[in-house]
């Protein structure tokens, strides 16, 4: 096996998954570990600071008589969170051979899927292990500075998988970065500071950074790395290149842009676009403009999106992926600008190209949007056919249903039920659409999911949830230059402050007395109004607050800050 290639993530090197051999087979004394950690029974965390690999290895081998352990030697490549979790899954498979199959598939979606999907799957599977297991993470100092690695490991520990104890060996004084407070408070944390002299045995310590890859090697490796979701690794390779090398391999300018965008780092993507070399070859610049349009879409900036698509017109990159992207972006622009027929034409072309070139994420997005157009156009048969096709696609590749590209399918399902009056049934798919939008979708997709879910909760008489969702949607839309198809939906949801202007001064006066025990006749006497006038004001208040009773009107007035 090419060790360099293994560390880049194409496979996990077998040497990382086994306890290292040490000179002459000498066992390193580890009395502090034996005394403090061997009794740990999980769920929880065992931390050995100052622990060189030989010390941790001796402890793990002694522990093997009591319970199985999975070993992982961490190195600099594992600072990419996707590589780290692929390595963790591979380590656990040495004890549980079929562990993490679905989670590993979802890793191809990149870092955006770690917190909402991958880590919860690993935690859930760990909770169901048939034998108590120790996961040993040796050399944690190699990844302790990677925020995404530390935060996702914190998430695993917070799930408290009952059969899993995570043992971390961290050499030197550098802080772990892990959140130990709750585990310590609950008695689920075992800590020991190994003697420094013992920890220096066998010369273990932080791994020496590997030499930067030459530009030609980066150009060879990046397609496979991005296909595995290892965006941070690719950006690290590019950051290590001398500036002139990136100029030599001009495609790498585009690779940096794509890795930043798909790695959920839009700020880096926008900065990279702003600093584009004006002498870039036309075909690379055209591809960059399409990615710029995608950046604009994710920001909810339809005018910027349209401008970038138009600037890329007529420059054929000669690559199926880019043809698919151009058709999909044109369909999205037309859809969000409320031109469903134009959107249907471009999205149909995008679906065909995506299927031809094997781009399953683009295919899932296009089919979902076509289903959404069908359901809002009243064509339920077409909606069901497309949703059925999406279900087959998700079965073949779970990533298509867990990635932000799956938003349109979830929204189509929710809208189909909502338009049929099945509001309670619409909540689950709309909540799924909201979760998917939060994984790197557009602000407009995010806002629509909030607004539609709010409408479903309102129809089910849950006004508090509806108000909170509407407020979040308004905050998102305030950052979008153009609201497109959402303009009417957003306008129908009045901000709380606006209702004070909608209610007349007399209605506000009556509203102030509704929380009291006064009858309508007594309210009239208090305000010098007839009882019929008070009844009229109450009916108007109920209508404007979408309330069915006095109690509900008071509750909604409190929610909206009117009382």
Mean pLDDT of the chain: 81
DSSP 350-370: HHHHHHHHT-HHHHHHHHHHH
* CB-based contact 409:373 (threshold 8 Å): no
| Residues contacting 124, CB < 8 A, separation 6+ | 159
pTM recorded for the entire structure = 0.70
> pLDDT for 469-524, tens place per residue?
998 999 899 899 999 899 888 776 656 555 555 788 889 899 999 988 899 999 99
Model pLDDT, residue 410? 97
Residue 70 and residue 92: Cα distance in Å, rounded?
A: 5
* pLDDT range class, residue 351, cuts 50, 70, 90: very high
Give the CA-trace dihedral at 236, 239, 244, 248, to 10 degrees: 30
pLDDT of 281 over the 80 cut: no
pLDDT of 549 over the 90 cut: no
Range of weakest confidence among 97-111, 163-177, 239-253? 239-253
Bond from prior residue into 80 cis (ω within 30 degrees of 0):
no
* pLDDT range class, residue 412, cuts 50, 70, 90: very high
pLDDT of 1 over the 70 cut: no
H helix runs in 145-277, sequence order: 147-158, 181-185, 196-199, 215-227, 231-240, 243-248, 251-262, 266-274
| Residues contacting 27, CB < 8 A, separation 6+ | 58, 61
Percentage with pLDDT > 90 across the chain: 38
Residue 552 and residue 541: Cα distance in Å, rounded?
A: 11
Residue 239 and residue 249: Cα distance in Å, rounded?
A: 14
Model pLDDT, residue 5? 31
Say which residue, 116 or 210, is predicted with more confidence. 116
* pLDDT range class, residue 285, cuts 50, 70, 90: confident
Query: What average pLDDT does this structure show over 12-17?
Result: 83
Model pLDDT, residue 134? 86
* CB-based contact 470:451 (threshold 8 Å): yes
Model pLDDT, residue 205? 35
Query: What average pLDDT does this structure show over 14-31?
Result: 63
Residue 213 and residue 240: Cα distance in Å, rounded?
A: 8
For residue 61, give the nearest of 88, 26, 96 by alpha carbon.
Answer: 26
Say which residue, 247 or 343, is predicted with more confidence. 343
For residue 221, give the nearest of 211, 235, 207, 210 by alpha carbon.
Answer: 235
* pLDDT range class, residue 314, cuts 50, 70, 90: low
Model pLDDT, residue 272? 64
Model pLDDT, residue 4? 28
3-state secondary structure of 503: coil
Model pLDDT, residue 196? 44
Range of weakest confidence among 113-117, 444-448, 491-495, 533-537? 491-495
Q: ∠ CA 312-313-318 to the nearest 5 degrees?
A: 85
Say which residue, 539 or 268, is predicted with more confidence. 539
Query: What average pLDDT does this structure show over 10-32?
Result: 64
Say which DSSP state 179 is in.
Answer: -
Query: What average pLDDT does this structure show over 293-318?
Result: 83
Say which DSSP state 113 is in.
Answer: G
Positive or negative: CA dihedral 340, 342, 344, 350: negative
**Residue corresponding to tokens 């610049």:** 285
pLDDT of 464 over the 50 cut: yes
Query: What average pLDDT does this structure show over 2-14?
Result: 47
pLDDT of 394 over the 80 cut: yes
Instruction: Give Cα separations from 388 to 74, 293, 440 (angstroms).
Output: 43, 30, 25
Residue 419 and residue 397: Cα distance in Å, rounded?
A: 29
Instruction: Give Cα separations from 338 to 247, 393, 448 (angstroms).
Output: 41, 27, 13
Put the strands of the sheet holding 133-138 in their side by side order: 69-73, 133-138, 164-170, 44-49, 189-193
Instruction: Count the Cβ atoms, other than its own, within 10 Å of residue 56.
Output: 32
- Helices and strands (DSSP H and E) totals, the chain: 31, 5
* pLDDT range class, residue 254, cuts 50, 70, 90: confident
Model pLDDT, residue 263? 64
> pLDDT for 83-136, tens place per residue?
999 999 999 999 999 999 999 989 988 888 899 899 999 999 999 988 888 898
What are the backbone angles phi and psi of residue 445, rounded to the nearest 5°?
-60, -40
3-state secondary structure of 190: strand
Model pLDDT, residue 284? 74
Model pLDDT, residue 290? 85
pLDDT of 32 over the 80 cut: no
pLDDT of 209 over the 50 cut: no
> pLDDT for 46-57, tens place per residue?
777 765 666 677
Model pLDDT, residue 130? 85
């Amino acid at each position: 096996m090419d060790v360099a290639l293994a560390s880049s993530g194409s496979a996990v090197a077998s040497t990382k998954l086994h306890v290292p051999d040490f000179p002459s087979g000498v066992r390193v004394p580890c009395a502090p570990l034996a005394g403090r950690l061997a009794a740990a029974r999980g769920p929880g965390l065992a931390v050995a600071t100052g622990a060189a690999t030989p010390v941790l290895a001796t402890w793990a081998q002694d522990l093997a008589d009591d319970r199985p352990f999975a070993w992982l030697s961490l190195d600099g490549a594992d600072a990419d969170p996707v590589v780290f979790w692929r390595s963790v899954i591979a380590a656990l498979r040495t004890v549980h051979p079929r562990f993490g199959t679905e989670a590993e598939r979802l890793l191809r979606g990149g870092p955006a899927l770690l917190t909402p999907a991958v880590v919860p799957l690993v935690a859930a599977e760990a909770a169901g292990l048939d034998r108590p297991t120790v996961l040993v993470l040796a050399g944690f100092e190699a990844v302790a500075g990677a925020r995404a690695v530390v935060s996702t490991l914190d998430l695993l520990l917070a799930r408290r998988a009952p059969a899993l104890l995570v043992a971390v060996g961290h050499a030197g004084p550098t802080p772990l970065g892990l959140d130990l407070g709750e585990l310590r408070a609950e008695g689920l944390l075992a800590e020991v500071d190994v003697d420094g002299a013992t920890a220096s045995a066998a010369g273990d310590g932080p791994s020496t950074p590997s030499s930067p890859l030459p530009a030609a090697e980066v150009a060879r490796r990046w397609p496979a790395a991005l296909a595995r979701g290892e965006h941070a690794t690719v950006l690290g390779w590019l950051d290590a290149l001398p500036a002139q090398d990136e100029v030599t391999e001009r495609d790498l300018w585009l690779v940096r842009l794509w890795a930043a965008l798909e790695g959920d780092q839009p700020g880096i993507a926008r900065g990279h676009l702003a600093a584009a070399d004006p002498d870039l070859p036309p075909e690379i610049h055209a591809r960059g403009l399409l990615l710029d349009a995608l950046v604009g879409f994710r920001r909810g900036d339809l005018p910027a999106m349209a401008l970038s698509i138009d600037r890329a017109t007529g420059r054929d990159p000669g690559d199926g992926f880019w043809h698919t992207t151009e058709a999909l972006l044109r369909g999205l622009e037309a859809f969000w600008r409320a031109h469903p027929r134009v959107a249907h034409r471009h999205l149909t072309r995008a679906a065909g190209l995506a299927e031809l070139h094997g781009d399953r994420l683009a295919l899932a997005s296009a089919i979902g949007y076509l289903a959404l157009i069908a359901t809002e156009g009243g064509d339920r048969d077409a909606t069901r056919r497309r949703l059925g096709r999406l279900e087959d696609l998700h079965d073949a590749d779970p990533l298509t249903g867990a990635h932000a590209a799956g938003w349109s399918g979830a929204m189509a399902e929710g809208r189909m039920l909502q338009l049929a009056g099945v509001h309670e049934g619409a909540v689950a798919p709309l909540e799924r659409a909201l979760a998917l939008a939060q994984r790197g979708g557009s602000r407009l997709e995010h806002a629509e999911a909030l607004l539609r879910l709010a409408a479903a909760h309102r129809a089910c008489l849950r006004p508090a949830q509806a108000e909170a969702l509407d407020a979040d949607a308004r905050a998102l839309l305030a950052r979008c230059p153009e609201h497109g198809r959402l303009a009417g939906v957003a306008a129908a949801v009045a901000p709380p402050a606006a209702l004070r202007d909608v209610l007349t001064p007399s209605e506000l006066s009556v509203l102030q007395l509704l929380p009291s025990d006064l009858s309508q006749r007594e309210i009239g006497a208090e305000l010098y109004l007839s009882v019929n006038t008070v009844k009229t004001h109450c009916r108007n208040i109920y209508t404007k607050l979408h309330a069915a009773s006095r109690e509900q009107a008071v509750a909604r007035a409190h929610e909206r800050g009117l009382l």
